[in-house]
Structure 1
Amino acid sequence: MHLFVGLDVSSFDIKVCFLNGQGEQLQTFTVNNDLPGATKLRDEILNTARDKSIGKLRIGLESTSVYSFHPSMFLHHDESLRALGGQVFVMNPRQIANFKKSYNDLDKTDEIDAFIIADYLRFGRLPMSIVKEEQYVALQQLTRARYHLVRQITQEKQRFLQYLSYKCNTFTEEVDSSVFGKAMMDLFLESYSLDELSNMPLDDLADFLRTKGKNRFPDPTYVANSIQKAVRSSYRLDKVVEDSIDTILATSITLIRTFEIQKKELKKAIERLMKGLPQTLQTIPGIGPVFAAGIIAEIGPIERFEDETKIAKYAGLYWRKHQSGRFTADDTSLSRNGNQYLRYYLVEAANSVRRQIPEYGQYYAKKYQEVPKHQHKRALVLTARKFVRLVDALLRKNQIYTPKGAIIQEA
């Protein structure tokens, strides 16, 4: 007997549908989305399977963030279901929605959705199973939190630059130094008016930069001179407007610094967890514990994927083909599907690796020169796609990184 269990999960309950191998509906019911409810669901599955020879037991549910996490992990790690050969699959809601379109005259109800999920399992076109080991789940939470924190930092820095252009519209053009360095941030926190900066003795401004920057400026006098040049060429604001902009800049600086502190804390937690997780990605030049963690957390056990092409597709590192008759489009967009977290860490890692390994640097340069637009983005994504092959080889063979020739010979 084959048993397919479709689950439609919400924050408060789980709609359940059992199908056999012929697509016949065995039963439907609802349980609470909590531990007692999941336990009842497990018991119903066992009761249905009792005294029967189970050839295949598949349990499926859509990926609905935190709502699907607990039931999927509970069912996956349950020993009694494992003894029956049970497999748990978490599916992209878009896949289920597209599959549902093949059915006519179906209403949008949770019971119907549970049936659709069970039938999708029956047809066998399955996505990846959920991550198996708990350490991967723990690592995934940390690396995803870091991903969102990095995005917040980027957004806040963009907001800061926008308001800085109100205060001093030529600052980023004239000043040849990072706006987000410690000395510059401290300078903006002082809330000097443009006139005060313009009239400040050059040596005093240079000393301020030297002290706050802990002597990291190679030529603080040059930077101080460029700041005053920018200040003198910028528009002046009314005093009340300038005061409001200074307040916003100070608030933005505080947020950026707070985010950076939290980013460091996440990095420490990731590094601690990575010490107990055997892997070889950190042997690649340019790959530290954070990039390695981001990749491993999303891939999980490499055995989940048949080969590197499946990893690339899972990450969304592929271009859709557009063909009609004899025409094939040369300029197509990168797929918007796939795991955004894995794609982010692969691309960031590839950007670091290309600076350390000549083979990847040369490949990036070649792809950069091939097109007149989107050069960096396209070259970097293609380099990341090439990098996937290396990741797959190291994880699948559990070997350390060696120069190109050694890996080719072993393959």
Structure 2
Amino acid sequence: MKTLIKNVQIVNEGKIFGSDILIDNDIISKIEQRIDDDVDLVIDGSGKYLLPGVIDDQVHFREPGLTHKGNIESESRSAIAGGVTSFIDQPNTVPNAVTQALLADKYNIASESAYANYGFMMGGTNDNLEEVLKTDPRNVPGIKLFLGSSTGNMLVDNPETLERIFSNTKMLIAVHCEDEATIKANTQKYMDEYGEDIPVKFHHLIRSEEACYKSSSKAIELAKKTGARLHVFHLSTARETALFRNDIPLKDKKITAEVCVHHLTFTNEDYETKGALIKWNPAVKTQKDKDGLWEALLDDRIDVIATDHAPHTWEEKRNVYTKCPSGAPLVQHSLPVMLENYKNGKISLEKIVEKMCHNPAILFRIAKRGFVREGYKADLVLVDLHDSWTVAKENLLYHCGWSPLEGMELQSKVTHTFVNGNLVYDQGKINEQKFGERLLFEV
């Protein structure tokens, strides 16, 4: 199958330029001003922008074991509708992916059901170092450690275990950083006053700036001591951004950071209207924190934008605070929301592509993806920056059927998504064939 996209504006590697682009089977074969090859399909890209497919380095697609919330099929289907062509899923499923056999089970499920390309993190615990060290860096993106409790019981809180993991693996270690003792003390304080039904507006004071900074600074200290490659997921505070560097290229950084779309979008003021729908771990915090995250994103202390896509059922989200799970679905909307920030003058198209496409590929050393380059896999997304729409229940593809963004008006729309050269999303229509492939990594 050959596909030719004509007269499009390509956003890639810090430049925007007009071009044609030829896809031959699963590969980008030509990027030239004018291409006249015989092809099977021609798409007129006039007035549209072509980006590399988004690589979301942190999602929770809930399979196996939590499929009442979502599954690899449903959530990867929603991903391609949002221009996300590759995802890296986390190990806190049921059972937790903490052995090679359980990790292989997830890959087997995805090989049958993923609309997008997939990678699965190996989970670390207080007692599975032997299994962690068996992980093949060629076909697994990294090791995930929860240094604060979240969905699933995977808390790693033994300092000796942590040091052994950091010292013994050359793979990237990705961490969820919140200090457990601080959170427990804060939770007890509010429970003493309110019982189980703590107002959600206090969430950012329970899972506080102190809890985040204490944990992330310790993890960074350990990475420096051991020489480990450390990636800190979902920064939520301005204070933490000071822990990261912007004076060296990403390829040379051993300690890196990610921010999620929700921490760039909401503040604690939004608990008033959104309630538990924006209850995440780490918590959405103050306007000062949001401003600090934006500043660090734009000056390159923060390297990657992701979603931490984490669906729960509507019923689960209606529970009292102490029984209400944290997390929300976002993977269908991350690129359109960031394009809205472009339209509002907060970030350039080139920087969006750098943080959502190029940098995840560089950081995780993903082979032949994340760029619009000849010889690379044809994971591509076409966007129309002048096609307004409103996030509403009827256009959600998430299995859980709700979004914290409902009612938000967006001015840009994903029109076409290609996965491995296949047109999988075409102006609202999904190709129900599944073309996702296992991500491979350069070692």
Shorter chain as denominator, the TM-score bin is under 0.3
Identify which of structures 1 and 2 has the higher relative contact order when contacts are C-alpha pairs closer than 8 Å and 6+ apart. Answer: 2
TM-score normalised by the chain length of structure 2: 0.22
> TM-score with structure 1 length normalisation?
0.24
**More helix per residue:** 1
Larger fraction in strand: 2
